[in-house]
Structure 1
Amino acid sequence: MPEAKPTEQHAVALPDDWAATPLTVVMPTYNEAENLPGMAERLMGLPLPGLRLLVVDDSSPDGTGDIADEHARTYGDTRMGVLHRAGKEGLGRAYAAGMAQAVADGAHYVLQMDADGSHPVDKIPQMLGVALATGAGVTIGSRYVQGGTLSAAWGPHRRLLSRWANTYAGTILGTRVRDITGGFNLWREDALRAIDLASVDSAGYSFQVEMKYRAVRRGYGVMEVPIHFEDRTAGESKMDLMVQLESVAMPWKLRARSARARSRG
């Protein structure tokens, strides 16, 4: 896979009615004070008048929640909101809460996006265009389809581990999703309702796998759009040992649950 970062591209222009589609970007944060202002500015600058940013902050000690509140006041409630949670309960729990809130507030599409700068903001209009054109239940910003690239800062071990994790989960679950572990995903509102966010088990990064598996099992189409995945710009990764262990175990739990459901008829 190429290591060089591709030439910077501008966001694609969508037809006016597509650009106005109610789209909520759900962005969990925990100690992302350095990254959030720049991410919010870039999102607000997209040619998507229907876009709203919902920050889900887990009581960040570095004041990320207060910064989010300040930006929400600046941009106004129609463009940005903040969901404050009592404490850190895992990325999956934060996403589930934010996505449920976005659907309840009337979003037609909900985008999962990290606050650390690793996901390319300029790809969002293209992903929305693909979703609207194809009717896909989930459109993935994919590192592992043709044209997808990884940061040059990723060493061989990290590249191998990421590839292995995708192959591992995809093989166990029997999906054809190339980037099943990726976290840059655009969901159609009805797909999220069918998945039933309240019943999702994963607290950590395995949330990405469980969500996509549930969508495929329910017959929703999946599209993958190639992206360049950049290394985080500031702050520290939230991946710890417990999160890694959950990610290893979750595909087997999902497979066993599906087998039990089939045996019940």
Structure 2
Amino acid sequence: MSSAHLVLIPSYNTGPKLAETVAAARAAWPAVWVVVDGSTDGSAAPLGAIEDPGFRLIERPVNGGKGAALLDALQRAAAEGFTHALTMDADGQHPADRIADFMTASAARPEAMVLGTPVFGPEAPQIRVRGRRVSNWWAGLETLWSTPGGEAIADSLFGFRVYPIAPLLAIMGRTRWMRRYDFDAEAVVRLAWAGVPALNIPARVRYLAPAEGGSSHFRYGRDNLLLTGMHARLMTGFLLRLPALLLRRGRS
């Protein structure tokens, strides 16, 4: 196990699933941090009783979005010597039993971002499965010829992944975006632009019904509009980079 790798779990009103997710993550990895992003449901209360030097609870008073919560934790993690962070959702969708596999892959390729490729079960809403294909198509275009030494980005939205912290912080420090639902997709595109190679590993994803404690803060209208604006920004960036990419491709 790498002592420079940690698990980061951002959470906003995920109810009892938060404690279950944290317990599963702590069983798989010694360093687990949770960022409670302005939750109002009391879900962080059980975590206050955890006495473990590898565990940390960061509570933000106001909800700022997934990217903002992760940025807060990444800055603190970098200051304490961590070099890589595996992010996972707090709602039970992501496979804690794959944490060690992803960390091992990251330790073998520390320069890379290790991206989960979701394997959906029959319960997955087809509107979500089909909708993410649109974002993945745009991300593939935006990163065309931008992943030397790595693979094409297989999925831009699956949040179960390992980031090298330093380049991610550098990118987030140069933009006011990547603070909400746009974080996952924009992070992988901009990291690819920065020369960070991608490594894709399949991982199952579960969509839990409300009776199972499942919760989702995704709003189809609001968040799809946010993603549309994000891809418009990224396509502009891609077109500005295109002459240099073509020149480099012509020389190779």
TM-score w.r.t. length of structure 1: 0.79
Q: Could you tell me which of 56, 59, 62 is aligned with 1:84?
A: 59
Q: Could you tell me which of 210, 222, 231 is aligned with 2:186?
A: 210
Change (3 A) 1:262 1:161: closer
Matches of 2:134 and 2:234, distance apart in 1: 18
- Quote the RMSD (CA, aligned, Å): 2.3
Find the counterpart in structure 2 of residue 142 from structure 1: 117
Q: Does 1:244 align with 2:224?
A: yes
Change (3 A) 1:234 1:212: same
The alpha-carbon deviation at position 198 of structure 1 amounts to 6.3
Q: Does 1:58 align with 2:40?
A: no
Find the counterpart in structure 2 of residue 166 from structure 1: 136
Report percent identity of matched pairs: 22
Aligned partner of 2:4: which letter? P
Q: Does 1:75 align with 2:51?
A: yes
Find the counterpart in structure 2 of residue 128 from structure 1: 103
Q: Does 1:225 align with 2:207?
A: no
Change (3 A) 1:244 1:204: farther
Q: Does 1:45 align with 2:21?
A: no
- Tell me if structure 2 keeps the 8 A contact 1:103–1:110: no
TM-score w.r.t. length of structure 2: 0.83
Q: Does 1:22 align with 2:4?
A: yes
Change (3 A) 1:140 1:127: same
Find the counterpart in structure 1 of residue 250 from structure 2: none
Matches of 1:30 and 1:128, distance apart in 2: 25
Matches of 1:155 and 1:84, distance apart in 2: 31
The alignment of Structure 1 onto Structure 2 pairs a total of residues equal to: 234
The alpha-carbon deviation at position 190 of structure 1 amounts to 3.0
Give the secondary-structure state (helix, strand or coil) at the position aligned to 2:44: helix
Give the secondary-structure state (helix, strand or coil) at the position aligned to 1:186: strand
Aligned partner of 1:189: which letter? I
Change (3 A) 1:228 1:184: same
